Structure 1
Amino acid sequence: MQSLRMIENWPVPHAATAVVRGADGALLGEHGPQERQFPLASVTKPLSAYAVLVAVEEGVFELDDPAGPEGSTVRHLLAHTSGLAFDEHRTMAAPGTRRLYSNAGFDVLADTLTKASGIPFAQYAAEAVFEPLGMSATHLDVAHRSPAGAGGVSTVADLCRFAAELQAPRLLDPSTVRRATREVAYPGLSGVLPGFGHRKPNDWGLGFEIRGEKSPHWTGTTSSPGTFGHFGQSGTFLWVDPAAGAACVALTDRDFGPWAAEHWPEFTDAVLAELAG
């Protein structure tokens, strides 16, 4: 795919990208070092969420089990509606009333899973998600850093395996993945989309951002409203566009900033145009 060469013009030291098709997980194109490890930042959250959803299907706990502040549940934490602050274990709103993007909420999720399963969160994620998908270069260092983002490291090649799983699930029931990625949890809630400001509504699934009608956005102007995924402060993103039947991963080693807000949407639009053509 010629559009992937656009990353050569990004003002970053290193970048890698790939596009993978949904139904069969076929690699449609790649550019840059596919096996280079990059810090994921918040692209770690979908990986952590997937481990939590596996735990739900395995009966470790239920989505509506209490977790976090009083009245909050596992579901609230996944959907950033627990009321916890961004990076503090401080309650700022009643559960289910505001979309408060919260790293602290994912810390609580990891602690909840660890206590309920008796298995350290990083080990659970590795055994439940990374190893079955062959993601051998993906690691979570939650002993020293947060499962919300700072502890995640991976490669484009590994994240393409995860993107293929999101489009044709093998580890989870497809209905669970659909609920997490295609159905808005607590519809109508407003909140801040990091890097882009207040959005009303600020649609989110369970661990995955849903694009909806947000504009401007880190995906493309032609991305379908059903597009879901996540971006990270370390200059990384993963999106799945069901209308296009494909997913795209891009990893860099420059922190998110105006450069990304400028280059990422035009890159995504070019990728989608090439897929449609």
Structure 2
Amino acid sequence: MPLIMDAKGNKMARLTPYESGAPARPLLSADLKRKIWHRVTLALLLIVPMPMASVFSYKEASDSLQFPEDNLFPDVGLEVKPPARTDRAISYEPPRVRLTQGHREARIQRSRAALRAEQELLGYVKSAVSDHIVPSAAVEIYLEQQPAVKIYQGLDAHRSQPIASLTKSFTAVALMTLVEDGLVDLDAPISRYGVHVSRSEFGQITVRDLLLHTSGISYGSTLPSYAPGIRHQYSNGNYAHLATIIEHASRMSFPEYLENAIFEPLGMRDSSASEGIKGSSGISSSIHDLGRFGRMLLNGGSLEGAHILRPESIQEMMQPPAFTPVTDHMQYYAHGFRVEAHHGRVKTFFHSGLWNGTFSEICVYPEDRSVVIQLANPVSYHSEALGGYRYRVTVLSARYVDLLARNSLAPTAMQPVTARFRPAEEARP
């Protein structure tokens, strides 16, 4: 049976609708509830300023996250559109937190809609595990840098596991730290940094080409098949070469540089990088550590006094390839992240990782000031059910943070909702 606990592990109310299949007996009449709700809402409107920024709606989440059926996890390939160079930049700014003194002093009440969304998310993760879609799973949601929801089933906050292609986002951030230090030039040929894979008939590959997957190197290869800079093709070889560039510029091994530049400053004690597979995958981490990395990105490159990147570098990482047509609604692979932009502003950026026995994802919603992190242990990544699980959790999480952000219900003054589900065999008498 699902248990709700506070951050200290104390038992709280049970998820009654999901335990018994029947709604809990109401303590108040519907009429009295309506009167209380109207008065509370009026009071909040009078004392709490409502944010005016647009938010990522549930419908937008549903529309934007529908990937083709043959590409449920968009780690391989991205639709290439006709080249059309542009100098128009995509705007990204770290969210500006606007909390009044009333937020900090009073316990903030969630809206009824947010409570329903919260319960639906908790219930879905529980059912996905009990139905063996995923043997174990964990989901964390942060709003305004504060934890809002933590769900653990078979995975705890500090259990480390491989994160597969999500490693690429760490590689991109590590490279950008060297760019800030003047040790790497994104538009320089990769031969300057000890990587020699270019073919004379295709021209020089730049560091930026590797980051954007526009080098001409096909998936499963480390050599170019066509001229760089003309189209996108996702390839692990690009990020394997970036790991070599990081080692050349930093004069450290790839795992050592990640430890010094990212893991240690952010307090990511559960994280490590492999000496074998480097750049494209090979990092192991926990949902706790991924949460710290995601919150750093949301905050413009810093977290709790640790400065990893400048906001300008995060802005640079959001820019599309030069050939990407500029439209009101854009989806593209940028510098280490997949990005969705509406009317020139970043709505969300994310990366996922999927391999046998592991699924990971960090999804950042700048305008909703939120981060959603997922970990799971699928038996096989060739599973439509797993694709449906990832999509469903993403949409439910997006709806939940939308409701919290829309109503300015930042969880600053309340404990996060924490659900720990016991395995079925332990629940039997």
**TM-score of the alignment, normalized to the shorter chain, above 0.5:** yes
Evaluate the alpha carbon distance shift between residue 89 and residue 249 of structure 1 in structure 2; reply closer, same or farther with a 3 A threshold: same
Q: Distance in 2 between matches of 1:9 and 1:188?
A: 40
Per-residue CA deviation, residues 197-224 of structure 1 (Å, 9 max, x unaligned), is: xxxx7611111111358xxxxxxxxxx9
Secondary structure class of the residue paired with 1:267: helix
Q: Which residue of 2 aligns with 1:267?
A: 393
- Give the TM-score of the pair, scaled to structure 1: 0.84
Q: Is the 8 A contact 2:341 2:347 kept in 1?
A: yes
- Tell me, what secondary structure is at the counterpart of 2:263? helix
Match of 1:231 in 2: 352
Distance apart, 1:120 and its partner CA = 0.8
**Alignment gaps of 5+ in structure 1:** 190-200, 214-223
> What whole-Å deviation, never above 9, does each CA across 1:3-44 have from its counterpart, x for those lacking one?
5422223311111110122x4x21111111211112101011
- Counterpart of 2:173, as a letter, is Y
Structure 2 partner of 1:208: 337
Aligned to 1:91: 224
Q: Deviations over 1:222-275 (max 9, x none)?
A: xx9721111111322111122322111101111433123212222222112222
Alignment of 1:9 with 2:9, yes or no, is no
Superposed CA deviations along residues 112-143 of structure 1, whole A, max 9, x for unmatched, are 111122111111111001111111111110x2
Corresponding residue of 1:242: 366
Is 1:185 aligned with 2:321?
yes
Give the TM-score taking structure 2 as reference length: 0.56
The alpha carbon displacement at 1:180 in A equals 0.7
> What residue is the counterpart of 2:273 in the other structure?
140
CA distance in 2: counterparts of 1:271 and 1:117, whole angstroms: 38
Residue 105 in structure 1 maps to residue 261 in structure 2: no
Give the number of aligned pairs: 252
Aligned to 2:311: 174
- Using the TM superposition, give the Cα deviation of residue 187 of structure 1 relative to its aligned residue in structure 2, in angstroms: 4.2
Aligned partners of 2:293, 2:207: CA distance in 1, in Å?
22
1-structure distance, mates of 2:265, 2:165: 22
After superposing the two structures, state which structure 1 stretch, 267-276 or 171-180, moved more. Answer: 267-276
2:254·2:278 contact (CA, 8 Å) conserved in 1? no
Distance 2:120 2:271 in 1: 26
CA distance in 1, matches of 2:370, 2:331: 23
Moved more, 113-122 or 6-15: 6-15
Instruction: Indicate conservation of the 8 Å contact 1:179/1:205, yes or no.
Output: no
1:23-172 paired onto structure 2 within 5 Å: 23=144, 25-32=145-152, 33-67=156-190, 69=198, 70-141=203-274, 143-149=275-281, 151-168=282-299, 169-170=301-302, 171-172=308-309
Structure 1: 4+ residue segments shifted above 6 A: none
2:350 alignment partner, SS class: strand
How far 1:64 moved relative to its partner? 1.1
* Structure 2 unaligned residues grouped into runs of 5+: 1-117, 191-196, 303-307, 404-429
Three-state SS of the structure 2 residue aligned to 1:248 is strand
Relative contact order, higher structure (CA 8 A, sep 6+): 2
Please give the alpha-carbon distance, in whole angstroms, between the structure 1 residues aligned to 2:401 and 2:323. Answer: 31
Return closer, same or farther for 1:176/1:209 CA change in 2, 3 Å cut-off.
same
State the Cα distance separating 1:90 from its structure 2 match.
2.1
Structure 1's 47 and 4: CA in aligned 2 closer, same or farther, altered over 3 A? farther
Higher mean displacement: 117-126 or 62-71: 62-71
Determine helix, strand or coil for the equivalent of 2:240.
Answer: helix
Deviation at 1:84, TM superposition (A): 0.9
Structure 1 CA distance for aligned equivalents of residues 119 and 398 of structure 2? 12
Letter of the aligned partner of 1:186 in structure 2? A
Mapped to 2, the partners of 1:273 and 1:105 lie a distance apart of 35
